[in-house]
Amino acid sequence: MKNNMKISSAVIKRLPRYRRYLMELQKKNVDRISSNELSSLIGYTASQIRQDLNNFGGFGQQGYGYNINSLYKEISAILGLDQEYGMVIVGTGNLGQAIANYTHYYKSGFKVCAMFDVNPKLIGLRINDIEVLDYEDLDEYLKNNQTDIGIVCTNMSSAQEVVDKLCNGGVEGIWNFAPTDLIVKDGVALEDVHLSDSLHSLAYYINRNRQNQD
């Protein structure tokens, strides 16, 4: 990274998006792109793109633009996607299973190593070749298996207890799908996916559009 200044979360949220577009360009065998071309593709202004990237280093070349392969690699490295992550999923309902399948399908450095549930009907099953273990054994598992990310797919009422266990077990990040706000140990990253909040925002905009038509 270029310097120690804190990068705003607005920038960080844009990085995965840059990366997605660069991946597409790679697939099309494009090998260079200017901030202007990227701008018309992604929709951010060219200067914002240049400024965003400049937070991390001067990846472009004057008169040339950005080399797609190397910029892709740089952004991947900034995001930490050049590394492997061991994950566990707690809560093996439909959503948990879907996430297991999702990360399985989008092969990458993120690997679900185990799943946990309290439901005896699920314990012992294999989903995408991942065993569903008894939630009782989560502490023990974390003690013996270094785990980077805990994925919370439980209901609201169990979520905080699960997160406490995960944090104490040494995970570095929580990916939370439970519809509640969680407290994590200092130094643990938290990323929420609040599906109901998302759906409710959508409802707001639908209604606003309806009202504008009157």
Partner DNA sequence: GCATATTGAAAAATAATGTTATAATAAAGA
Partner DNA sequence: TCTTTATTATAACATTATTTTTCAATATGC
Query: Under the rule (CB under 8 A), what is the footprint of its own copies?
Result: 12-13, 15-17, 19-20, 42-43, 78-81, 83, 85, 93-95, 97-99, 101-103, 106, 110, 148-149, 172-173, 175, 179-181, 187-189, 191, 193-210, 213
**Min dist. Cβ of residue 187 to its own copies (A):** 5
**Min dist. Cβ of residue 88 to its own copies (A):** 14
**Min dist. Cβ of residue 201 to its own copies (A):** 6
Nearer to its own copies by C-beta: 19 or 50? 19
Give the angle 147-198-6 at the CA atoms, nearest 5°. Answer: 55
**Of these partners, DNA, its own copies, none, which one is at the site of residue 66 (CB under 5 to 8 Å by kind)?**
DNA
How far apart are alpha carbons 39 and 79 in whole angstroms? 21
How far apart are alpha carbons 193 and 206 in whole angstroms? 21
> Helices 68-79 & 9-27, crossing angle to 10 degrees?
140
Nearer to DNA by C-beta: 12 or 202? 12
Q: Per the structure block, which two tokens stand in for 94?
A: 């439909």
**Min dist. Cβ of residue 42 to DNA (A):** 11
Do the Cβ atoms of 116 and 165 come closer than 8 Å?
A: no
Q: Per the structure block, which two tokens stand in for 92?
A: 């093996």
**Of these partners, its own copies, DNA, none, which one is at the site of residue 175 (CB under 5 to 8 Å by kind)?**
its own copies
Nearer to DNA by C-beta: 36 or 180? 36
Which ranges of 2-67 does DSSP label H, i.e. alpha helix? 9-27, 35-42, 46-54
Helix or strand (DSSP H, E) at 110: strand 110-117
What is the biggest distance separating any 2 CA atoms in the chain, rounded to whole angstroms?
63
Binding site for DNA (CB under 7 A): 2, 8-11, 34-36, 44-48, 50-51, 53-54, 58-66
